């Protein structure tokens, strides 16, 4: 691709991702409604799809308020960090055989780095608010991210081992025969759980835990700053789904339909599954979350790593 | 640990099955919910089967009202009947508890299954007697207080009410 083509494709990805995240707020509420035997927002426009616009207008017209006791600079900066980090993460996602912004030989590491950067947003937001609930939320998110980051990276090493490359394109190409969700089922399981924790979505949304910490790290946030946090969360959800698709479900690979359509379909199915997890599973207690991470998921990941390594060595002869 | 995992999987499966159940939601403004006849909503004043107003301005409802939203003043007609000169309910205070209906000795004040009484102006929530009074008998069709009460009014003397014996003249020695 030419330089101009890459830039315009990058912009397209940004608009598609942000637009997708906005529509996802409505879609998720409708889907949750289906599973909870109610309708969700269905008043505005066909199937209530204009609810997105209504929410946006409301958030835009809200008073942009910074609490007098907050650390002003950090308080304003924090919400942007998560959006920027998550959007940068989309750069390495291959949407098709030649539909990507950049294909670097450490694509996977770049993605892991960007999702880790997003932690700063939550942490700084909680710290700069100068509010006890927000601080507790930030504290929790820091601990949660640290413990889930560990096996998030390790769970992908099985995939890397089988492919022999960190490049996303190579990983997809290596799944021509069999998708990695079959040989790497343990890796998929652990990565999925780490991904939910990483984007702090509902079963693992302890940083905001609204019935313990009012709204956790974004207690003091309102208007568009709050919207940025939400946007970052939904972008994170889409990004994690893109990653799971690429790493475990063969990315753009699939018969008949064009590659991009296959990719989008897989991502869509995964998003629905994540919403289902939100609808079904209650939030664990904080210590349960930590012990799940360190006592179960980490050993499981290490076991997977050892097993994959042994089999890979054995196959080589 | 495995059991806990399976329980989570079962939960997800159960929730997934709810994709095929109907939503319980009643789409309110288009689709009205069923309200029982004894639902406690907007308060009305009823009339007896003869078309006279039932309220005798005894003030028991105003006393029973826990939020003091009822105000009325008693007056007497030429035929001896009591009636409220004004009867005012402030619905911005009313909590629809139904205590007034229970207290009422003449079944005059009754609660109806209507709750759609929003107003933009707070003073519009104060209902006067002409807003409260309805033409019908409400929930009790045959009841007429003055036909069973012992009070003498024009056209009905002592002892002429239903189930009432003629009064005994205690000063007379005649059998």
Look at residue B158 and tell me if it is in a domain: no
Q: What pLDDT is attached to residue A153? A: 85
Check pLDDT > 90 for residue B63: yes
- In whole angstroms, give the CA distance from residue B59 to residue B71: 8
* pLDDT > 70: percent of chain A: 99
Q: Could A276 and B16 be called an inter-chain contact, meaning their C-beta atoms sit closer than 8 Å?
A: yes
Check pLDDT > 80 for residue A66: yes
Q: What pLDDT is attached to residue B142? A: 87
- In whole angstroms, give the CA distance from residue A25 to residue A61: 19
Q: What pLDDT is attached to residue A1? A: 58
Q: Give residue-wise pLDDT tens across range A72-84.
A: 888 888 888 888 8
Contacts of A210 (CB under 8 A, 6+ apart): A216
B172 inside 8 A of chain A by CB:
no
Q: Give residue-wise pLDDT tens across range B84-97.
A: 999 999 999 999 99
Between B149 and A202, name the one with better pLDDT. B149
Look at residue B28 and tell me if it is in a domain: no
Q: What pLDDT is attached to residue B43? A: 92
Helices (H) and strands (E) in chain B, counts: 5, 5
**pLDDT band at residue A65 under the 50/70/90 scheme:** confident
| Mean pLDDT score, A2-22 | 83
DSSP code, position A161: H
Look at residue B103 and tell me if it is in a domain: yes
Look at residue B173 and tell me if it is in a domain: no
CATH, residue B146: 3.30.70.3270
Start-to-end Cα distance in chain A: 40
| Cα B153–Cα B159–Cα B164 angle in degrees, nearest 5 | 120
Nearest residue to B39 via CA among B132, B139, B134, B125: B139
- To the nearest whole Å, the CA of B150 is away from the closest chain A CA by 57
Check pLDDT > 90 for residue A86: no
Look at residue B107 and tell me if it is in a domain: yes
Q: Give residue-wise pLDDT tens across range A41-61.
A: 888 878 888 888 888 888 888
Look at residue B11 and tell me if it is in a domain: no
Mean of per-residue pLDDT scores for chain A: 84
Q: What pLDDT is attached to residue A280? A: 86
Identify the helix (H) or strand (E) that includes residue A274: helix A259-280
Crossing angle of helices A132-163/A298-316, nearest 10°? 10
Q: Could A38 and B24 be called an inter-chain contact, meaning their C-beta atoms sit closer than 8 Å?
A: yes
Domain of B124, in residue numbers? 34-150
Count of domains for chain B: 1
Between A218 and B70, name the one with better pLDDT. B70
Q: Binding site for [4Fe-4S] cluster, residues of B?
A: 55, 58, 61, 65, 94, 97, 100, 104
**pLDDT band at residue A206 under the 50/70/90 scheme:** confident
- Considering only alpha carbons, which residue of chain A is nearest residue B22? A37
Look at residue B43 and tell me if it is in a domain: yes
- In whole angstroms, give the CA distance from residue A116 to residue A153: 11
């Amino acid at each position: 691709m030419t330089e101009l083509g890459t830039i315009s494709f990058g912009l397209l990805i940004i608009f598609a991702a942000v637009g997708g995240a906005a529509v996802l707020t409505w879609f998720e509420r409708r889907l949750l409604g289906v599973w909870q035997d109610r309708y969700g927002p269905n008043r505005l426009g066909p199937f209530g799809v204009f609810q997105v616009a209504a929410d946006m207008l409301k958030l835009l017209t809200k008073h942009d308020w910074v609490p007098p006791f907050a650390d002003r600079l950090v308080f304003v900066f924090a919400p942007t960090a998560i959006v920027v980090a998550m959007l940068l993460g989309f750069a390495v996602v291959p949407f098709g055989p030649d539909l990507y912004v950049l294909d670097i030989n450490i694509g996977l590491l770049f993605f892991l780095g960007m999702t880790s950067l997003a932690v700063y947003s939550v942490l700084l937001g909680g710290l700069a608010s100068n509010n006890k609930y927000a601080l507790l939320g930030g504290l929790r998110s820091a601990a949660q991210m640290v413990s889930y980051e560990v096996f998030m990276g390790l769970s992908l090493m099985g995939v890397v081992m089988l492919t022999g490359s960190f490049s996303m394109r190579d990983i997809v190409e290596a799944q021509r025969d069999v998708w990695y969700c079959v040989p790497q089922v343990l890796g998929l399981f652990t990565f999925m759980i780490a991904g939910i924790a990483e984007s702090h979505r509902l079963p693992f949304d302890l940083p905001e835990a609204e019935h313990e910490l009012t709204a956790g790290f974004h207690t003091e946030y309102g208007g568009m700053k709050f919207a940025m946090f939400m946007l970052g969360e939904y972008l994170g959800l889409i990004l994690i789904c893109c990653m799971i698709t690429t790493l475990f479900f063969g990315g753009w690979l699939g018969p008949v339909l064009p590659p991009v359509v296959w990719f989008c379909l897989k991502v869509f199915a995964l998003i629905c599954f994540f919403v289902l997890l939100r609808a079904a599973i209650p939030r664990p207690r904080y210590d349960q979350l930590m012990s799940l991470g360190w006592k179960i998921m980490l050993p499981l990941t290490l076991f997977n790593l050892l097993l994959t390594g042994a089999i890979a060595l054995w196959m080589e002869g | 640990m495995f059991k806990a995992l399976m329980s989570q999987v079962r939960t997800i499966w159960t929730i997934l099955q709810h994709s095929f159940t109907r939503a319980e939601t009643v789409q309110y403004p288009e689709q009205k919910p069923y309200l029982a006849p004894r639902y406690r909503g907007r308060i009305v004043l009823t009339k007896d089967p003869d078309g006279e107003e039932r309220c005798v301005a005894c003030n028991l409802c105003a006393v029973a009202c826990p939020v003091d939203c009822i105000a009325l003043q008693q007056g007497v007609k030429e035929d001896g009947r009591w009636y409220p000169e004004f009867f005012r309910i402030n619905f911005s205070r009313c909590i629809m508890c139904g205590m007034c209906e229970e207290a009422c000795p003449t079944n005059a004040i009754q609660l109806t299954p209507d709750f759609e009484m929003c107003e933009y102006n707070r003073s519009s929530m104060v209902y006067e007697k002409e807003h409260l009074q309805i033409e019908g008998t409400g929930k009790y069709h045959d009841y007429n207080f003055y036909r069973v009460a012992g009070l003498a009014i024009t056209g009905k003397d002592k002892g002429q009410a239903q189930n009432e014996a003629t009064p005994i003249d205690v000063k007379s020695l005649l059998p």
